[in-house]
Each structure stands twice: as structure tokens, then as C-alpha cells.
Amino acid sequence: MDRTAWVLNETELRAWLQDLIAGERTVVAPVAEDGVVVYRPLAAAGQAVLEPRGKARWSPKEFLFPRTEALYSYSFKGDAVAITDPPRPERPQVLFGVRSCDAAGLARLDEIFLSGRTDPLYAARREATTVVTAGCAAADPECFCTAVGGSPVGEEAADLQLVPLDGGWLLRVLSGKGEALVGEAAAGWSAPPAESGERVAALEREVAAQIGRNPVPQEWAKVLEGGFASPSWDRLAAHCLGCSICAYVCPSCSCFDMNHEANAWCGEQCRSWDACTFVPFTLHASGHNPRATRGGRYRQRVLHKFAFTAEGEAHFRCVGCGRCVALCPAGLDISQIVTAAAAAIQEEGADAAR
């Protein structure tokens, strides 16, 4: 019997999930809350929304990079000051039922927080986290993972992968962490059919065919960056409200602000999510703002997703989850904006060469 893949029916999957919840780990999964699906720590397996399609309103990134957190705290006692590090994770956590696009978003956060100068708070949580992804059997209208190099059954950042097949789930081990999470639970599970690999490939093709957006060529990263001064950014961003919903729901956005909460006796240095589409994001104390225009701010967001990738990275930071497309109150579609910006920049270049 293959010890690295099984097929589970709904009852077996939820029984395993219940065992995980009862164990030593915190299990975080999509749950329905006031009509919206969001990631929450589970109290019971029945709470989990494990569907073959659809995604949570927010990505699970807040369980590795919280919306706000203290970096250190301090208190005064007479002339002495005591500095306290923030708490490290006491329990390991499992992110369960994460869509492949959101797992790819975690891989982008890893590149940001774990390369160069490692962020110790993120690193501690990441080390304590096991990711169980759930592939998609259908694309939502806003999805475009395949246009940016992803897949509805992508394996990036997954320790275990669930793939919806025949009304049940194929479960595959993809890392040592994943193997450890399965442990002895697999004793009663069935081996997958011999053709499961071909069926996963067929599912991938079927879902990819539902995604209407054209692939974004990798070469556009250079085109977009070369068009930094293009006047088209102002036109393309004309309707942006600067609300930053796009950045807050994005699985790969990582910007934060620092602030200090204190009184006469104690205080905390905190960081909180922030966004480049906010006017004050780059506002200097002098009053000068180097990104004073809407076009300049929106350009920053687009380039950070499609052009400003670190040396040696061969992929975009946008993972095509489509949340910003679905939730932008002004109707801006980043995949269409990228296409329009690249076309305008190339046209301007052609005009200049004539």
C-alpha cells in the first residue's frame, strides 16, 4: 500500500480533523461566520467549510503575520526599565483546507520574511505551522491562478494536499511535516486508485479551462518596470478610491506600519498591516509625499505584485486569488490593469522609436 496517499470520504476526513483538534495543535480552517467564510481556530470538525470550490473572504496570512502585534513591550520601575519579548507560539498550528493560491501566497511571505534578515516572529510561527491545502474542482469568476503560473492543485508550501475526487478527497503527503501530521491516523484509510495521478491532472486541465484570463508573460515584469514614468498609470488608477481593501485581503501583501502605544509606566512597540494605496503610507514628517498621486500609489501596488520581485525570483508576487478583483469597490481588475499597462507602455515605446 502507498504510504504517502489515500482516499478519504467526508466521514473519514472529519474524523481525522476532529482527532487533530483534540490533539496538541491549534487547527485553523475556513468556517462560516455571519454569512462570510473566514479562517478561524476550530472547536469541532463540523465547523470547517470543506468544499470542492470557493475560498475564504480573507487569506490565512494573519495566522503567520498578524494584523497587529507587539514587537516588544517595556515597563519602568523607578530608574530601571524592563524589556519583554513578545510571546512565541506555545502550540503548533495546522492551517487546514487552504486553497493552492493562498498557500502560494504563504510561499511569497516566506520569501519576504525568511530571506536575508529573518523576521523572528514570523519564523517562529512558520516553523510551528503545518499547511494542509485543498485543491479546487472549479474556478470562481475572479480566479486567475493559472495566469500567474499557479495551479488549482498547486503544491507550493503544502505539507499535505487534499484534492477533491469523486465526492471524496485524495490526500497526499508532500513533506516530512505532513507525514508527521498523518501519523498513525492512516491505518484505516484506503489506498488511492492507480489512475489518481491522471485524474488530478485532468481536474487541473478542467479548472484551468474555466479561467478566462490570459496568462501574464514573465517578460512583462521588465516592461512594467521600464514604464515606471508612463502617463498611463494616472489614467488606469483614475477610479481607485485608495481604500486599500485590495492589500488587506491579499495573501501576499506584507507591508506594515510601526506605532508606539505607551503611558508613563509602560509601553509597546507594535506593527500593524498597512498598504501602499493609502495616501499617508509614504508621507514624510516634513509634509512631503514622494507618492503624492493616485497613479503613483496604484503603480506601486501593481509593480510590487508583477515587477519588483527580488533577485532570482522567477514568479510574480500576485498568486491570482482574485480577491482584490472581487472586492474592489471601484471595480478595478488587477489582471486587466496589468495587461492594459503593459500594452500602453509598449505602445509609448513604439511611438518614441518612430
Min CB(131)–ligand SF4 separation in Å: 17
The C-alpha atoms of residue 98 and residue 56 are separated, in whole angstroms, by 9
Q: How far apart are the C-alpha atoms of 240 and 216, rounded to whole Å?
A: 22
Nearer to ligand SF4, 61 or 125 (CB): 61
Determine if 303 is a binding residue for ligand SF4 (CB under 6 A). no
Residue 300 lies near ligand SF4 (rule: CB under 6 A): no
Which range binds ligand SF4 by CB under 6 A, 22-30, 66-74, 194-202, 328-336? 328-336
Distance in Å, CB of 242 to ligand SF4, minimum: 5
DSSP 221: H
Which residues is 270 bridged to in the sheet? 70, 259
| Residue 242 interacting with ligand SF4 (CB under 6 A) | yes
List the one residue from 28, 153, 318, 342 that touches ligand SF4 (CB under 6 A). 318
- In the region spanning residues 115 to 154, those forming contacts with ligand SF4, defined by CB under 6 A, are none
Residue 244 touches ligand SF4, criterion: CB under 6 A? yes
Cβ 253 to ligand SF4 shortest distance, Å: 6
The least distance separating ligand SF4 from the CB of residue 152, rounded to whole angstroms, comes to: 14
Q: Does 328 bind ligand SF4 (CB under 6 A)?
A: yes
Distances (CA, A) of 321 to 57, 146, 155: 11, 10, 15
Pairwise CA distance, residues 344 & 342, whole Å: 6
Which of residues 236, 240, 276, 338 is near ligand SF4 by CB under 6 A?
A: 240
DSSP state of 137: S
User: Is 323 a binder of ligand SF4 (CB under 6 A)?
Assistant: yes
3-state helix, strand, coil in the chain (%, to 5): 40, 20, 40
Name residues contacting ligand SF4, limited to 252-281 (CB under 6 A).
252, 277
CB-neighbour burial class of residue 298 (10 A; exposed 0-12, middle 13-18, buried 19+): buried
CB of 275 to ligand SF4, least distance (A): 7
Cβ–Cβ < 8 Å for 251, 61: yes
The SS3 of residue 117 is coil
The contact set with ligand SF4 (CB under 6 A) reads 240-246, 249-252, 277, 305, 318-324, 328-330, 332, 334
